[in-house]
Structure 1
């Protein structure tokens, strides 16, 4: 059993359209029903965060159970002002790599982000897969974000923290901020990786 499979035995499961967080290692494998449908659109990530936080506050004020809050839109890197794409024409092991490289909006650039009360998940509309932080991949691709998971586990959980315009994306798998690797070249240019401990333009998205 490789590290990837071992890691996926611990963490989260998705059942009947609702994300369930477990505090101890999961006793059984996660299931993968259809993702929660998007209930709104967002123009920017900060818009999504406002919707998410409003839903959380409304549930808290009313004493009701928070339902998953989802919205769909595009993500853009502050570092190069390009949209994030899921590279669905790539082959394994980089199929679905997220890169900040597109100036046009298509299915590969559309993402559905959901909040379940504990974390945010990112779902690629084009790939029909959840985005993972590949924290077991070595070298310059360590922490690479890829749209390839059918389950929500630890590697698929993030936390978006937003100001009025820009947001950072933190992987809960390794507690690192997602960076757009603008120093990379060729097919890796703009690769998104969960690898930074500080926030700069490469770690900000909108």
Structure 2
């Protein structure tokens, strides 16, 4: 069953630019949230903490080019990702706009350690993620460093909402809804 059928079954509507729930997130907690092995789905990934979607920062330059943040209010093309199940353990995430895979940048230090960027043309260890889901609510881990992806809401300016694979536990900033995207 694909995401569109799952959301119809739980009374949700896909509208242009966003997913409009007809029920609360708790009511859809048992819905499948990731594709089967060998399959891909176009999705939006939304922070549980702030209800903001992952977005590819295509306008950034330099080492922050393609940086991902969880700051968008609607699901547009910059907020659409192709989620592919490699082997029921590891997944890839590719941005619709850059047509590149999301990487956890593990060679950076300090505040940029583990920054997620849609910048890779191939799949290596830095481009693999694991999803720990209860229904459509997921904690996402980098397969390489075994750290949870966090939406960094304590930063200001261009770092606000930056996504980084840096947390040892999955708290509120590390939980995301995986929803079908109407933009693919």
Say if 2:88 is the partner of 1:91: no
Q: What residue is the counterpart of 2:94 in the other structure?
A: 123
Say if 2:175 is the partner of 1:204: yes
1:175 and 1:115 map into 2 onto residues whose CA distance is 18
Q: Is the 8 A contact 2:41 2:84 kept in 1?
A: yes
How many pairs does the alignment contain? Answer: 153
- Map 1:39-78 to 2 at 5 A: 41=3, 47-49=32-34, 51-52=35-36, 56=37, 68-78=38-48
Q: Is the 8 A contact 2:33 2:136 kept in 1?
A: no
Say if 2:75 is the partner of 1:113: no
1:109 and 1:165 map into 2 onto residues whose CA distance is 17
Displacement, 1:69?
Answer: 1.3
Q: Is the 8 A contact 1:133 1:171 kept in 2?
A: yes
Distance 1:153 1:144, change over 3 A: same
Higher gyration radius (CA): 1
Please list the CA deviations of residues 76-126 of structure 1 after superposition, one character each: whole Å capped at 9, or x if unmatched.
001111111000000010011110000122110000000111410000001
Q: What residue is the counterpart of 2:114 in the other structure?
A: 143
Gaps of 5+ in 2: 8-18, 20-28, 178-184
Please list the CA deviations of residues 29-73 of structure 1 after superposition, one character each: whole Å capped at 9, or x if unmatched.
xxxxxxxxxx95566996432x42xxx5xxxxxxxxxxx111111
Q: Is the 8 A contact 1:40 1:70 kept in 2?
A: no
Q: Is the 8 A contact 2:33 2:137 kept in 1?
A: no
Gaps of 5+ in 1: 1-38, 57-67
1:108 and 1:173 map into 2 onto residues whose CA distance is 25
Q: Secondary structure at the match of 1:108?
A: helix
- Map 1:153-164 to 2 at 5 A: 153-164=124-135
1:156 and 1:110 map into 2 onto residues whose CA distance is 17
Which piece of structure 1 moves more, 193-202 or 164-173? 164-173
Q: Which structure ranks higher in relative contact order (CA pairs < 8 Å, sequence separation ≥ 6)? A: 2
